Structure 1
């Protein structure tokens, strides 16, 4: 995700972010410093800001610079912590590892609540570290919120918001043949709109075979793993290697679906 590696939101970096210069010139080291899109996401980099959702820290660093600032309600607290860590003499590194995110929901970036929360957090950051530019930044942030709110309302009036598409769900179950009917019944009960259900027979083929032939699995919208027929490390490897990152994953354990809607990010 773009938020995984960022620069400190200095007045210039924030100006480029608020007024879209970073999106217009994603390869520019002058305009696109906010989320550093010009850095290879598959390589390790020394960066200023890391995402608090997936961060490893030294205990001694936290003891020295302090914990999260509770002035931030949502967003900005990881920027604040990253700033204090660097000020404390430490270095932040972006490391390109995958994570599995399941059973959660993220704030939608186009939502007005997100806009207010995000730019409100930036305002707290500026009042804390850039007190002399507070009035200018406050004005820019309020203009940004007003602009984005107006665009969102205008798009709603014109009916430009995307309507959710009716999805024909097609399920592939990875399990042994003798367990297929039980798993299938549980899946059909939880997903009544299934168009069809197919078996990847683990008595005949390995999970690794599925990983090697992942291009053949693109027509499926859902994949269900039966544990322990498929081990967790195999599930994660297959998810990471799949071409279509929008597939929904399910895990069948001890007679029921324990985990649903896990997606790779």
Structure 2
């Protein structure tokens, strides 16, 4: 498949950097840019003092709605000045349900982009990641500061662990992998065996990619006392990768939040553009 609709999400108080990255990407591949402006509402007061603070809470919501409208108008003006195809929607949502609202919008896109603005805001980042990956089942492109997104990367590194999430990420990224000059399928401390990576770790995945016309080599990387995320980061540098493809949340979100993991590490500080799916 090709990526014909790309979603970006913004909120009041955020800048236009992510929108401009998304617009440039859409212009490059002749895609449509969908923008969702989401206002995050504070939960209503509860308890003994609810009656006292309810008026202040109501006034706060009115201010939030005014800010949301102002941000929506500003984004509309920005989109009108561009030559790309685009649309905009906005919604004021309780924080607890914002990820579902974002997911509903993401279902009508081929992928979503989360750039430096979104990555710097824990609240917005969490809602975008969970909305896109869990409520829409679509891939997410993370673009850290200092990087320019592209859907024509020359050197791609695929983090492969044999799980369903890795398989989904590979399937979604096939259009990118086919056109890349160099694809490294990377396994960190792979374990042989039918219930792990097979008799020759990486061979089955490489054969699958080769049948799709992907020029792929298998790299079996020892962790050498490092965590998996650190090993992947270093190998991305060693191979001069332009893009990292990886599955997201091979473990539960709760476990990731408590104990950390590769997904959490990459979301916290992506070393290069990351194409993430599950």
Shared fold per TM-score greater than 0.5: no
TM-score (norm. length: structure 1): 0.34
Larger Rg: 1
Higher relative contact order by CA 8 Å / sep ≥ 6: 1 or 2? 2
